[in-house]
Structure 1
Amino acid sequence: MAIEGPLRELGIHDVFQLLDLSRKTGTLRVTSDLRGDEGVVRFEAGRVVQAVVRSNPAKVEELLVQSDRVTAAQLAQARHAVAAGNGAGNVGAELVRLGAISRRELERQQRLQIESVVFELMSWQEGFFSFEDRPPGEPAPQIDIRVSTESLLMEGARRIDEWSRIADRIPSLAVVPTLAAVSGDEQAQLDLLPYEWEVLANIDGTRDLRAIAQAVGRAEFDIARTVYGLASTGVVELNTAERRRSGAVRAAAAADEHLLQARASLAAGQLDSALASALAARNAEGDRTEARLLVARVLSRLGRNAEALDELRRTMQADPITPEVHRDLAFAAAREGDLATAYAGWDHYRRSVPDASDLGQVDEAEQSLRRFHDISEAVLRG
């Protein structure tokens, strides 16, 4: 029997506590129409073993490459071995077997990734949750790490408290720290801990806190706390008020507001209003894939499929990496009869996000399209 309901009636913190106390094994899905996002958390006997969120689908092994803990060549070798059936069962275990990374460091990075997703979900105040027990007889997935749900809840509560303390100087992870200027006649000697030096070395005036966290392979909260300490001692500057007045930040804030309005209108079925807000978001910050995808989705809902396809082709040129671009382009191409583009897009999406929650919908759409094509061919042959 599924456990489900709106978050306004049972908060996400209470949902996690319920699954922990009842030692549940299965999958929790949390969706937010307002954010256009979905999180998936898998439990084994009440412990969290995997967590992903659609808005940041990077896998642990990809984060290892971003933080220079393994090389792209080592990752490719591990993936090839696993795909060929010659590896250690999954990519992470194969990287350990190859000696690219230690088991301890892999588990640390896996835990950081789980924590990042769970703490993101804990900030959601609206949405819908649904938990499904793993069906009897279904084989258990290979599990590399089990994280205590109780410890996640306690750490989440602690972070909320500490965030309130540092929020006056670090209101969000979008803050971009810069090195403080030092006059030529000053003689300064820094006495920093190793992890503080590591963070300091990655402050270049362009990276925000989230990017720094990815670069050093540490939790976003820990980076925020470290930068707060460096700012408090005058080593780095934040100048958040100036950045909020800057054009880039104003554009991002405007785009965020328009996106929220667009999603709310879309959820209410107000398609013309949703399109106007989505276009405003795209125009405010033209390089944001999220806004471009939303414009195309609303156009599709309005039946303006050719325009949606054109929008997605432009999005693909600007961002060929995001898996959702390939997925949405495939659906739009299918509606316009471009079968080759549709099949290629769906195939790319499957390979990029093999555990995506909507693969069933993708498979069903492709099967329907192939059946329609076969019937059409048969009719034409007479």
Structure 2
Amino acid sequence: MSDLKITKGTLNLPSAAVRLIGDHPLQITASSNRHLLLEVTGQKGDLQMAGRLGDIAIVDLLSFFNMFRKSGALHCALSGGDKTLFFQNGEIVFATSTFAEEEIGETLYGLGMLDREVLQGARQFASGVMTLGKALIDQGVVTSKDLWAATRSQVETIVFNLFAFQEGSFAFFDTRLEEDQVLSLSMNTQNLIMEGLRRVDERAVYMQKVKSLDAIPVATGKVPNDLDSTSQRMLALVQRGVADARELLRRSGAGEFDTLRLLSQLIERGVVAMEEAPTVKVEGVLGE
């Protein structure tokens, strides 16, 4: 980020900041001879804390809010998108994300609850008039129970994926959620932290075997007698043929992390091999 200077009492902000703030009035929340913290006035929830990720790790932030039983919203501005985690008495109860792959429709698709054409149709049907979830329920594509389970999976994925970021900025506001927005997650915040850290480490190990989500899983013909039922279903999907590992992750319905783990185990045992995706020759002259 380029340096900012106050010239004749005027501070010129970067265009990106101006687009975010708009014409809302600002107030100085904190200042010293080394920093100046400005806050938009008249918004819901007061700013309690702000800083840069990297100087403060995600795990330390989440542990702090959990230890001191904080309630509010932690907004993280990251490379490629934003995430907001909502706390109630120190526990994460909801989360939102602007990352496309963490949208509820993509979560439902990733869990194998609908296909791409149905998802696109539901998005057009919703078209700003209603939420995508309500549109899918109204169309009979999913049940309320399906949507609740997918939303819980979505929130946990948003949290788990947050641990992969080492840079960005954060701000914590004392914004409260409405009661009907509060989710009961499958694990408390401390367990989410431990699981998130574990997944970052283990996913890197699994990907060493899988190599790429664009690679094609192929059955080798070897079928051990001691495969559990989940591994057998995974192998059956591979035997029927999938375009690539990414499609296998979606069709398994087990979620990305667990599917990568199972696929990695099948590769390690020689049951599945990964082949490079074939290259496609494009005819013609570039630019035509």
| Shorter-chain TM-score tier | 0.5 to 0.7
In 2, the alpha carbon distance for the partners of 1:167 and 1:150 equals 26
Q: Which runs of 5+ in 1 are unaligned?
A: 85-89, 249-285, 287-382
- What is the CA deviation profile of residues 340-375 of structure 1, one whole-angstrom value per residue up to 9, with x for unaligned ones? xxxxxxxxxxxxxxxxxxxxxxxxxxxxxxxxxxxx
- What is the CA deviation profile of residues 104-123 of structure 1, one whole-angstrom value per residue up to 9, with x for unaligned ones? 65443223212222121111
Letter in 2 for 1:47: E
Q: Quick one: structure 1 residues 140 and 12, their matched pair in 2 at CA, closer, same or farther if it must change by over 3 Å?
A: same
Q: Which runs of 5+ in 2 are unaligned?
A: 1-46, 281-285
In 2, the alpha carbon distance for the partners of 1:195 and 1:63 equals 20
Q: Quick one: structure 1 residues 213 and 20, their matched pair in 2 at CA, closer, same or farther if it must change by over 3 Å?
A: farther
Structure 1 contact 52–117 (Cα < 8 Å) conserved = yes
For the pair 1:43 / 2:87, whether they are aligned, the reply is yes
Normalised TM-score (structure 2): 0.62
Letter in 2 for 1:145: L
Q: Quick one: structure 1 residues 159 and 65, their matched pair in 2 at CA, closer, same or farther if it must change by over 3 Å?
A: closer
Letter in 1 for 2:170: F
How many residues in Structure 1 have an aligned counterpart in Structure 2? 230
Question: What is residue 309 of structure 1 aligned with on the other side?
Answer: none
For the pair 1:152 / 2:189, whether they are aligned, the reply is no
Letter in 1 for 2:243: T
In 1, the alpha carbon distance for the partners of 2:135 and 2:69 equals 30
Normalised TM-score (structure 1): 0.49
In 1, the alpha carbon distance for the partners of 2:244 and 2:148 equals 26
Structure 1 contact 20–47 (Cα < 8 Å) conserved = yes
Shift of 1:62: 5.2
Question: What is residue 251 of structure 2 aligned with on the other side?
Answer: 215
Shift of 1:222: 0.6
Secondary structure (helix, strand or coil) at the match of 1:213 reads helix
**RMSD value over aligned CA atoms?**
4.1
Q: Quick one: structure 1 residues 76 and 98, their matched pair in 2 at CA, closer, same or farther if it must change by over 3 Å?
A: closer
For 2:159, which of 112, 118, 135 is the aligned residue?
A: 118
Question: What is residue 62 of structure 2 aligned with on the other side?
Answer: 16
Q: Quick one: structure 1 residues 212 and 23, their matched pair in 2 at CA, closer, same or farther if it must change by over 3 Å?
A: farther
Structure 1 contact 109–217 (Cα < 8 Å) conserved = no
Q: Quick one: structure 1 residues 58 and 227, their matched pair in 2 at CA, closer, same or farther if it must change by over 3 Å?
A: same
Q: Quick one: structure 1 residues 177 and 47, their matched pair in 2 at CA, closer, same or farther if it must change by over 3 Å?
A: farther
Letter in 1 for 2:107: L
In 1, the alpha carbon distance for the partners of 2:180 and 2:101 equals 20
Question: What is residue 51 of structure 2 aligned with on the other side?
Answer: 5
Shift of 1:93: 7.7
- Which structure is higher in RCO with an 8 Å CA cutoff and minimum separation 6? 2
For the pair 1:200 / 2:235, whether they are aligned, the reply is yes
Letter in 1 for 2:258: D
Q: Quick one: structure 1 residues 5 and 60, their matched pair in 2 at CA, closer, same or farther if it must change by over 3 Å?
A: same
Q: Within 5 Å, which residues of 2 pair with 1:4-83?
A: 4-32=50-78, 35-56=79-100, 59-61=103-105, 63-64=107-108, 67-69=111-113, 72=118, 76=122
Secondary structure (helix, strand or coil) at the match of 1:146 reads coil
Shift of 1:12: 0.9
Question: What is residue 262 of structure 2 aligned with on the other side?
Answer: 226
Secondary structure (helix, strand or coil) at the match of 2:100 reads coil
Letter in 2 for 1:219: G
Question: What is residue 272 of structure 2 aligned with on the other side?
Answer: 236
In 2, the alpha carbon distance for the partners of 1:98 and 1:54 equals 25
In 1, the alpha carbon distance for the partners of 2:122 and 2:206 equals 40
In 1, the alpha carbon distance for the partners of 2:165 and 2:86 equals 18
The structure richer in strand per residue is 2
